[in-house]
Amino acid sequence: MSQSPASPDDVSTLLTQREAEVLEMVALGLTNDEIARRVGLSTHTVKFHLASLYEKLGVANRTEAAVAYTQRIGLAGGAAGPAA
């Protein structure tokens, strides 16, 4: 059963500190290998954290997770998108 995406305000309360750290790096465009090296984890553990945060945020992939992160910190354009 699919869960609806978490609101931006919910993101910080739903995730563990490590999941939030991984999410930030995903939003910066880092690969799983790069994240693993930066935080001293195995790639498998990074994938585990990603799967967990996807479930908690109600998203299907890293792109949707990055959008949830950018909305949380106020970087994403509103419904109208970026100004021309």
What digits encode the pLDDT tens for the residues 2-11? 455 554 455 6
What digits encode the pLDDT tens for the residues 37-62? 999 999 999 999 999 999 999 999 99
Report the chain's mean pLDDT, rounded to a whole number: 83
User: Do 41 and 71 form a contact (C-beta atoms < 8 A)?
Assistant: no
pLDDT for 80? 45
> Nearest to residue 19, comparing CAs of 59, 43, 51, 60?
51
Domain range annotation of the chain: 8-72
Q: What CATH number does the domain located at 8-72 have? A: 1.10.10.10
Whether the CA torsion 37, 70, 60, 16 is positive or negative: it is positive
Cα 59 to Cα 6: distance, rounded to the nearest angstrom = 8
Cα 6 to Cα 14: distance, rounded to the nearest angstrom = 9
- Across 23-43, average pLDDT: 97
The amino acid that residue 40 corresponds to is G
